[in-house]
Amino acid sequence: MKESCEVAVVGSGFAGSLLARVLAIIGYDVVLLERGTHPRFAIGESSTPLANLSLERIGLRYGLSDCYDLAAHGRWLARYPNIRRGLKRGFTYYRHHPHQPFADEGLASERLLVAASPNDAISDSHWLRADVDHHFVREAIAKGVEYRDRANITDADIGADGARLIGTRDGTAFELRANFLIDASGPGGFLARQLAIPSGLERTHTRAALVYSHFDGVRLMMDLLPEMPEGPYPDDWAAVHHLIDEGWMYSLRFDDGVTSAGFLLTPQGLAALQSSGADPNALWRELLDRYPTIGRAFSAATPLMPIEFRPLIQHRLTRAAGERWAMMPHAYAFVDPLFSTGIAWGLRAVERLALAFEAAAPGRRVPGADIIARYETALSAEADQIDLVVAGAYEAMAHFDLFAAQAMLYFATVSFAEASQRLAPDDSVAGKGFLGVGDSVLGGVPRESLARLRAITRSRGEIGSSEQRREFAGWIAASVAPRNIAGLADPKRRNLYPVDFDALIEGHALLGMTRDQIIYALPALRGMSPLPPSLYALPASHLPPRASRLPLPASPRSPHP
């Protein structure tokens, strides 16, 4: 075991392992410490186009072909069939009401589908985290990272010249000195405890409890609702969200049929139920009984591990970085799985910190204080923004029309970011604000949206009048219009949104392009791969500018409908 290194990373989720690997590739001496062992269960499985764009950029910049291949379902399946994943074509929402089956009212149903990709081959995936995180650890070790699992770090000191960690492994004491410390311990809260960093949770709005597991034998919603009009993709090959009075449920199907599912329950929602978290099985059963269509979907399902309960999933700290340390986003803050922001935000931080180390002065070998300060400011603003978008969505759950409108704020923001990033020629996009932070048009919309929603719901779940709801939807549509390149917030769509390249072409001016320019750029915008695999071997500094890279042949299709 080394007694010193340049960078110590605490926590070997995908974020810690990938950052450790990238730092090793750019020449740092890195030790990765993990209190558990791999493979291990982890929650947080549904990736998004922005997450995959980060993965692709990391893959291209640092010559990591696995990152590139894991960024599209077809490439993943072709190259890593043994790393389990699920096809995710988009975001599916249904609104359920207590003791009533989901009402199939054709196009008037309380159903919203937003496609995230035009076909299976380049679509996003749900990550079976046990497999994915294990893969990233193995790849980090292969690139020279010293990995220490079962590490129990009992003490940490951070000073002006670095960090000193004291701990034990298999009963043997160790001491490790590092010039810089990365906390990638997620909700484990390693540095929060060691540095006694106060909680900043009071500045956030979202609160939810969680009851969850992995299941076998969950039925497809498409089988339960056979008459439902066809959507832009098969409803179940998506992040499926069931909105209920007490909060919402996620249901993520992996390609092998295993489904990750959990109910997020607001404090009021949980209090209104008869069961409490003390008996997670009873709570689970009560929710299935209360919502008959969800109950039918899970009637023959068996949990693959005990159903678990967490009373509060949100956390937030008052610091995210200091002179010789930085936290990955999940160590600093977590809001809610609604809109699947976690993986994308974590990968963006991998990019940002890797670039910060690349920019370190040669003799100093640690990121400059100014960059670290910017990193901290960015995480703080982004955690606030995620919270505002999600808190607004929880308010909006009072009525499906409000929810569908609020969701457009998220989708307009991320689809604009995705297109802008696909068109951008370099990695500087990693520094851009997440979820509209810093965007002169969208930046302030989530805060105002939350205020408007609260005025309608009175924070008591009131649904307002149809006029108020129409007005809110109109306000959202107008607010996102200057960034709406995806044909969103259009009542004619009846809540079914495909990936719409015609809307993109028509919206060329919103991206600062002519019609011809955007047509020329369509392969990049469609997510066509910009780099042939043979170029992976090149050191990052020799990568050609993106515009001159060649398209890859199309990926094979997945076996799913």
The residue among 190 and 403 lying less far from ligand FAD, judged by its C-beta, is 190
Number of Cβ within 10 Å of residue 478's Cβ equals: 11
The residue among 62 and 190 lying less far from ligand FAD, judged by its C-beta, is 190
- Minimum distance between the CB of residue 465 and ligand FAD, rounded to whole angstroms? 34
- Which residues is 467 bridged to in the sheet? none
- Minimum distance between the CB of residue 314 and ligand FAD, rounded to whole angstroms? 9
| Token pair 């690997």: residue | 21
The residue among 254 and 472 lying less far from ligand FAD, judged by its C-beta, is 254
The residue among 184 and 221 lying less far from ligand FAD, judged by its C-beta, is 184
Q: Are 245 and 97 in contact (CB under 8 A)?
A: yes
Distance between CA atoms of 61 and 425, rounded to whole angstroms? 12
**Helical pair 445-457 and 466-480, crossing angle rounded to 10 deg:** 180
3-class SS at 227?
coil
Distance between CA atoms of 251 and 46, rounded to whole angstroms? 10
Task: Give the chain's largest Cα–Cα span.
Answer: 68
The residue among 49 and 346 lying less far from ligand FAD, judged by its C-beta, is 346
The residue among 23 and 473 lying less far from ligand FAD, judged by its C-beta, is 23
Q: Which amino acid is at 310?
A: R
- Minimum distance between the CB of residue 186 and ligand FAD, rounded to whole angstroms? 2
The residue among 121 and 350 lying less far from ligand FAD, judged by its C-beta, is 350
Nearest CA to 499 out of 37, 195, 113 is that of 113
Q: What is the DSSP string of 283-304?
A: HHHHHHHHSHHHHHHTTT-EES
- Minimum distance between the CB of residue 339 and ligand FAD, rounded to whole angstroms? 8
The residue among 287 and 313 lying less far from ligand FAD, judged by its C-beta, is 313
Cis peptide before 311 (omega within 30 of 0): no
The residue among 12 and 457 lying less far from ligand FAD, judged by its C-beta, is 12
Query: CA dihedral in degrees (413, 417, 418, 419; nearest 10)?
Result: 110
Cα dist from 431 to 213, 244, 352, 375, whole Å: 35, 37, 6, 9
Nearest CA to 399 out of 80, 93, 7 is that of 93
- Minimum distance between the CB of residue 149 and ligand FAD, rounded to whole angstroms? 9
The residue among 8 and 531 lying less far from ligand FAD, judged by its C-beta, is 8
Distance between CA atoms of 331 and 319, rounded to whole angstroms? 10
Burial grade of 469 (CB within 10 A; 0-12, 13-18, 19 or more): buried
- Minimum distance between the CB of residue 315 and ligand FAD, rounded to whole angstroms? 10
Which residue of the chain is nearest ligand FAD when measured via CB?
Answer: 44
Characterize the bridge pairing of strands 315-316 and 333-334: antiparallel
* Chain residues in the site for ligand FAD (CB under 6 A): 10-16, 33-36, 42-46, 151, 153, 184-188, 190, 210, 262, 313, 328, 330, 337, 340, 342-344, 346
Distance between CA atoms of 234 and 410, rounded to whole angstroms? 21
Q: Which amino acid is at 437?
A: V
Q: Which DSSP letter does residue 218 get?
A: P
Residues 6+ apart with CB under 8 A from 243: 93, 94, 95, 96, 397, 400, 403
The residue among 151 and 524 lying less far from ligand FAD, judged by its C-beta, is 151
Structure tokens at 196: 């006694």
Characterize the bridge pairing of strands 172-183 and 325-327: parallel
Distance between CA atoms of 260 and 427, rounded to whole angstroms? 33
The residue among 228 and 258 lying less far from ligand FAD, judged by its C-beta, is 258
Cα dist from 531 to 458, 480, 534, whole Å: 52, 33, 8
- Minimum distance between the CB of residue 414 and ligand FAD, rounded to whole angstroms? 12
| Token pair 């209104």: residue | 272
Q: Are 38 and 137 in contact (CB under 8 A)?
A: yes
- Minimum distance between the CB of residue 210 and ligand FAD, rounded to whole angstroms? 5
- Minimum distance between the CB of residue 209 and ligand FAD, rounded to whole angstroms? 10
- Minimum distance between the CB of residue 411 and ligand FAD, rounded to whole angstroms? 15
- Minimum distance between the CB of residue 494 and ligand FAD, rounded to whole angstroms? 26
- Which residues is 537 bridged to in the sheet? none
- Minimum distance between the CB of residue 136 and ligand FAD, rounded to whole angstroms? 9
The residue among 191 and 476 lying less far from ligand FAD, judged by its C-beta, is 191
- Minimum distance between the CB of residue 187 and ligand FAD, rounded to whole angstroms? 6
